[in-house]
Amino acid sequence: MSHSFWNRLLPSSRTERFESLIRPLAIPTITATKATNRDIPALLQFLEHYFGTPPSSPVFRPILDPVHEIILFVKENTQLVATIRYKYAGLFEQMPIHVIDCFCVHPSKRGSGLATQLLASLHAYTNGIDLRYSLFLKEGRALPKTEPLYSSHYVFRPQIRGDLKHSLSPQRAVALVATYRQLHPDTLWLYDVRNTNQHWLFWKEGYEWILLCIQDAFQIHQKGRIGWITACFASEPMRSKPFEQLVEGAPYDWIWMDRIWLPEGSTDWKEDGPFHWYPYQWSTNLQVKRFYGLVV
């Protein structure tokens, strides 16, 4: 995919805590269709076969909701060749933020400019209904000449099923995060109370504590489900034993997460590739620290 589209929408520098960026963009030359319920089976089949680089990539089986999400797709001669999703993620600085994902182009069309045109179609559609602020996750190498909101590397490990006694309700977890953010107001925190894809785990002993959110990645690796840690808050220093015990309580076969959350002494984690979060049509001078939450 060409990087030129993103580079025209993204800032080269940051100035304010939250600053909108409205930039003109060429009118798309393709016809993208907004998905309805009847389109979902074909879209799911398309994503399962072509998302990433199968068979080396995990199988992707998301839950698509065309009633509450914007899902665009492109067909050529009745064949699906591309799709993209724009879904609500939560509030940041009291502004509604969406996430761009399920972005997939048929292998035969990659490098043709179709991806850029589909992004232009999404840009035009969302701006037309006054939705202008979102994030997208890019894995692999970073975009040139563009500063991400945050960059790091994944680590992963096979899961060892453990004791679920450390589970915590989302309501209690959010209350704990709110308390943490009173002491650390610059904490990055994106969350939607209506999001049903969240499993919170909490450990406390004396003044030490760890709070994790693990989400279903809707991906299958070696026939096992992948869980994705998307939020981590803790006292410092964070000890490896309670951290590993918390992770073992998650109902998944594999766990992926940001390597910045690994306590010293943690074992059995393997290094995966880099990832980068970018703001789409907005910028911020917020500097992401070790503990944050992007529960998307």
Q: Write the pLDDT tens digit of every residue in 156-198.
A: 999 866 556 688 999 999 999 999 999 998 899 999 988 999 9
| CATH match of 4-139 with 3.40.630.30 | yes
pTM as predicted: 0.89
Q: Write the pLDDT tens digit of every residue in 73-92.
A: 999 989 999 999 999 999 88
In the CATH scheme, what architecture does the domain 152-294 have? 3-Layer(aba) Sandwich (3.40)
d(C-alpha 290, C-alpha 36), whole Å? 40
pLDDT at 248: 86
d(C-alpha 147, C-alpha 135), whole Å? 13
Q: Write the pLDDT tens digit of every residue in 259-278.
A: 999 998 888 899 999 999 99
Q: Write the pLDDT tens digit of every residue in 117-156.
A: 998 899 889 988 988 889 999 888 888 878 889 999 999 9
d(C-alpha 55, C-alpha 115), whole Å? 21
Q: Write the pLDDT tens digit of every residue in 211-229.
A: 999 999 999 998 899 999 9
Same fold flag, 4-139 and 152-294: yes
pLDDT at 3: 57
Domain boundaries of the chain, sorted by first residue? 4-139, 152-294
Q: Which two tokens stand for residue 37?
A: 């319920």
